[in-house]
A and B are shown apart, each in its own frame.
Chain A
Amino acid sequence: MDVTNTTMLGVRDAVASKEVSAVEVTRAYLDRIEKHNEALGAYLEVHDERALQRAADVDKGQLTGPLAGVPIAVKDLFCTSYGKTTASSRMLENYRSPFTATAVQRLEDAGAIILGKTSMDEYAMGSSCETCAFGGAKNPWDPSRVPGGSSGGSAAAMAADLCAAAIGSDTGGSIRQPAALTGVVGMKPTYGRISRYGMIAFASSLDQCGPFARTVADAALLLKVMSGVDPMDATSAPVDVEPDLDEVEREVKNLRIGVAKQYMLEGANDPAVQQATDDAIKFYESQGATIVEVDLPHTKYGIPVYYVVATAECSSNLARYDGVHFGHRTAEPANDIVELFSKSRAEGFGDEVKRRIMLGTYALSSGYYDAYYNRALKVRRLIKNDFDAAFEQCDAILCPTTTTPAFKIGEKADDPLSMYLNDVYTVNAPLAGIAGISLPAGTTEVDGKALPVGVQLIGDAFAEAKLLRVARLYEAGHDHWNLRPAL
């Protein structure tokens, strides 16, 4: 089977109709991984035996469900009771989890076949996959460029057809940004839609699992399968999953597309990005949508608020990695417990993680709490209020996903501030807890190579069904979705 010319639903239907066996499909993806992963570094670990075993179970009719026989890649942030779960950190280099994350379990219960664990920025901290302790993923469109991050490995695997679908996590843009840079669909659902249980925490109030897919319909089904309240996650939302969540062909009547000047940073945008966004607005207009100008006045505070909230939470979430109960422990002699902690953490964490732990520790310190963390929470509320008001006027907000196409590996690695600005169009949705989706919007030629650009649609909390339908309208009017890198 040629897996480079299909969709997840296509694969699923082919298996269901016995046109091809699940084992053949799985083997086809494993062969492709074998051929291309060394150059791309998308997967850190491939579970070929287990995948083939489960595929055989599908073929025997012992494993059924809406995703039966669909090979999926999982960001190495999700715990699995098989293989290693490293969060791309030296700290968890040999960590094996005794349990499987709820999101992954739901995929497996639906018949999906997990191919392996994908590379990422260490503990999901980064926008380029370069902070991975084990060699980050590369962009399949140009391996000298980053795939984006932090879910770079999942995005690269998706773009290079090393899986039929993938999952990642989005804290400040970690699904949508790499999706845009690799030319695939990437969605961050509403906070609380998908359980966080078993997803190694970076910033608990922001982290959200979501899908990477070739098409909007593929993403919709993945979302539907993974969504729903989980007794193991107190913040998972007790909101019913709409039965028609994946019916993306349905029309959104009287569609209003919001455009905000705060999301059109003309000076900052690459011309190709600006063009793609302008074209998308025109497209929706041509489809009869009303274009509404909305005001999101607190947008500019998004990055600073994000880097206070996210670092504060990570400084606490990562405290447990001290080498006592699990994780890397220094081999050096330590005179006391504090020295054991310090040396283990100094060796186990990379620079970016240490930088964020220090920033967050500072923000939470006595005497600084009110000026930083508490104030950030207040501004976060204002950002949410902005969106609440905007969604009174429109169904979705259209904007770029990133300011530029993929940048060169190493280009921003030593410039954290410039790296942080990558998130300028993506941080506000997680701060507000709302949903966002990045869609492939064609390619632009840079240094003789075609590089994808993306457009983003931001939707209200728990309104993913509508957001996906709005997204599908764009997708159906273009052939961007089927552009694939030549490997």
Chain B
Amino acid sequence: MTTDPHDPGAAHGLKTTLVVGLEIHVELATASKMWTAAPNVAHPDHFDAEPNTLLSPVAVGLPGTLPVMNKAAVEMSVKVGLALNCSIAKRSKWDRKSYYYPDLPKNYQISQYDIPLCYDGGFEIPLSNDEEPEHKHINIIRAHLEEDAGKLLHELPGGGFSDGSLVDLNRAGTPLLEIVTAPDFRTADEAVTFCNMLRDICRHLGVTEGIMQRGHMRFEPNINVIIENKAGETFKTPIVEVKNLNSFRAVHGAIIHEHTRQVEAWMVDGRVMGGGEKSTRGWDDAKEVTTLQREKEDAHDYRYFPDPDLVEVVVDEAWLEEQRAALPELPAAKRKRYIDDLHLKPIDADTLLAEPANAAYFDAVIDAGADSKRTGAFLLNTAMKRANEHNTTLDRLGATPQQTAGLVAMLANDKISSSAAEPLFGYCCESDETPEKLAEHHGLIQVSDDGALDAWVDEVIANPKLAQAVEDVKAGKGKAIGALVGAVMKLSKGQANPKAVSAKINEKLSG
């Protein structure tokens, strides 16, 4: 038996295999909650709502209230299901999952028990960062829709002392898509790659902003280890579910830690899987260890039964086909197209794809007829700088894709200089006029006209402060011309064609 030095069993002469499945909760960014018109805290308009301000009688579960299904949440879930290559149930239903907890107003959660909306899907994940990586298929067992619970706070908002627990129901009733994978992961890296890709997919579908700190996505890995001893006997450690992880780092850390911890625990107590021994653990971000929360989950009886307040979800075949047809290009396909067809560098493609709105804006500019490489260069260098300054995305800067495409074309045709591109983009962001008109109006059209260039060049050459540069150029020091060209560009407010200026200076000084 050969052992892998990274295997935590290796030191003990054991060969171990990590087995991980994931449950991922995605808060859907619908405008309203799952069962009522009250606003949804997972929607960007309500991210920072004060506690208990996103309520309605239904959200609080007041006597006499009834849930009414939010169709938008079902549509978003179907989109995700299709993107994850799932089958969509023609008929699914709602079930009540009963448990008493103060953040759950009805003391039951409306969920989907035996008939999930989406089932049997999956996608390929790359196993390395190589140019041509190997891939592995991860199976998705199901993706079902349910409602989120509220939150318990143990201190006052802002941090003041509270002598009791406080309930904030803003999150109660937020539509939650729970995606469950098969136990297909063998390393923490695989799991994190999957989580990252899933987040990208959801963000590109527009179903969530995917802000981890806000809990838009929460991960619960189910982890155990297959241990093989020297005699070739195998043992499976009891499955541990780590609850409520909300960063990739935590997912990675929890899996790594559990791998080691479970091997060591087995060596002490020899406990193996079976008899419903699924314990739940939490993640301590500071200590980077998992901690025991509940020993046996099977103590819970959720008493599922179909919710009599709701009717079946019937998915119409024609509607489903429309959804399938309307599915946007997914990030993996987009990345491939950017690199293979549009000739972007992988790093540039990734930069654009990191923010779905930026990628969509790039696509729109290309659709408006602009050259892809020049558009990429312009957006990543000039437009992105402005977006970062304004802490927003390209589509929200104010310039239409048509304007930007026009600007890129002017650059390509030498109608403007690259130094004029930034101010011109700024004007585009603040005006509906075409970039041509704006460039003319603001005197940004590149000037190659001899007379005008002569005047600017002569003025610069005559400038005593630049005498040294003039001498250097005359002496054949090629680099010195940069200072002179720069001065002309500044003098011309970017209008001069730098190539023509350069030629003109050389002409004048070599004479």
User: Which residues on the B side are within 8 Å of A98 (C-beta)?
Assistant: 57, 62
Tell me which residues across on chain A come within 8 A of B108, comparing CB atoms.
316, 319
Q: Is B467 an interface residue (CB 8 A)?
A: no
Check: A373 CB closer than 8 A to any chain B CB: yes
Partner of B62 from A97, A233, A322 at Cβ < 8 Å: A97
Given A87-B63, A95-B63, A204-B309, CB of A231 within 8 Å of CB of B68: yes
Residue of A nearest to B302 (CB): A366
A101-B64, A319-B106, A320-B107 given; A234·B305 CB < 8 A: no
Given A320-B105, A365-B301, A365-B303, A234 and B61 touching (CB < 8 A)?
no
Report B82-114 CB contacts with A as 1/0, cut-off 8 Å: 000000000000001010111001111000000
Whether B64 pairs with A198 at a CB distance below 8 angstroms is: yes
List, in ascending order, chain A residues with CB within 8 A of B96's CB: 316
Query: A289: shortest Cβ distance to chain B, in Å?
Result: 36
**Would you call A232 an interface residue if the criterion is a C-beta within 8 Å of the partner chain's C-beta atoms?**
yes
B274-311: which residues lie under 8 A (CB-CB) from chain A?
A: 301, 303-305, 307-311
Evaluate contact between B305 and A373: CB separation under 8 angstroms: yes
B66 touches A234 (CB 8 A): yes
Q: Which of B105, B305, B308 contacts A369 (CB 8 A)?
A: B305
Mark each residue of chain B from 42 to 66: 1 if its CB lies under 8 Å from any CB of chain A, else 0.
0000000000000001001111111
- Kindly state the separation between the CA atoms of A85 and B64 in the bound complex, as whole angstroms: 10
| Chain A min CB distance to B149 (Å) | 13
Whether B167 sits at the interface, judged by CB under 8 Å, is yes
**Is B215 in the interface zone, CB < 8 Å from A?**
no
Secondary structure call for the B interface: loop
CB pair B107–A319 under 8 Å, yes or no, is yes
Please report the C-alpha to C-alpha distance between residue A98 and residue B64 in the assembled complex, in whole angstroms.
11
Q: What 0/1 readout, one digit per residue, does chain B (154-197) give for beta carbons within 8 Å of chain A?
A: 00000000000001000000000000000000000000000000
- Indicate whether A324 reaches chain B with its CB closer than 8 angstroms: yes
User: Roughly how many angstroms separate A324 CA and B102 CA in the complex, as a whole number?
Assistant: 7
* B69 sits at the interface (CB 8 A): yes
Residues of A within 8 A of B309 (CB): 201, 204, 234-235
Q: In the complex the two chains form, is A320's CB within 8 Å of B311's CB?
A: no
Contacts of B423 in A (CB 8 A): none
- CA gap between A312 and B306 in the complex, in Å: 11
B206 on the interface (CB 8 Å rule)? no
Given known A-B contacts A313-B308, A338-B100, A366-B303, A197 and B64 have beta carbons under 8 A apart = yes
Whether the Cβ atoms of B63 and A322 lie closer than 8 Å is: no
Shortest CB distance A16–B (Å): 32
Docked complex Cα distance between A300 and B7 (Å): 66
Q: How far is the CA of A359 from the CA of B63 in the complex (A)?
A: 22
A residues 220-256 touching B (CB-CB < 8 Å): 231-235
Q: A234-B310, A366-B301, A373-B305 are in contact. Are A322 and B100 (CB under 8 A)?
A: yes
Closest B residue by C-beta to A89:
B63
The answer to whether A234 and B311 touch (CB under 8 A), given A319-B106, A325-B167, A369-B305, is yes
Q: Are B303 and A361 in contact (CB under 8 A)?
A: yes
**Contact of A235 with B311 at beta-carbon distance under 8 Å, contacts A312-B305, A366-B303 already known:** yes
B102 touches A79 (CB 8 A): no
| Contact residues, B91-142 vs A (CB, 8 A) | 96, 98, 100-102, 105-108
Q: Are B98 and A319 in contact (CB under 8 A)?
A: yes
B398 within 8 A of A: no
Contact B61 A232 (CB under 8 A): no
Q: Does residue A326 face the partner (Cβ distance < 8 Å to B)?
A: yes
| B308 touching A204, Cβ below 8 Å | yes
Q: Is the C-beta of A194 less than 8 angstroms from some C-beta in chain B?
A: no
Contact assessment for B60 and A232 in the assembled complex, using a CB-CB cutoff below 8 Å: no
Q: A99 contacts which of B57, B107, B308 (Cβ < 8 Å)?
A: B57
A205 on the B face (CB < 8 A): yes
Residues of chain B within 8 A (CB-CB) of A366 are 301, 303
Q: Which residues of A contact B486 (CB under 8 A)?
A: none
> Can you name 4 extra interface pairs (CB under 8 A) apart from A234-B67, A324-B102?
A203-B308, A232-B66, A316-B108, A326-B62
Q: Name 21 interchain pairs, CB-CB below 8 A, sorted by A.
A: A85-B64, A97-B57, A196-B66, A197-B66, A201-B66, A233-B66, A235-B311, A315-B303, A316-B96, A316-B98, A319-B98, A319-B107, A320-B61, A320-B105, A320-B107, A325-B60, A361-B303, A364-B303, A365-B303, A366-B301, A366-B303
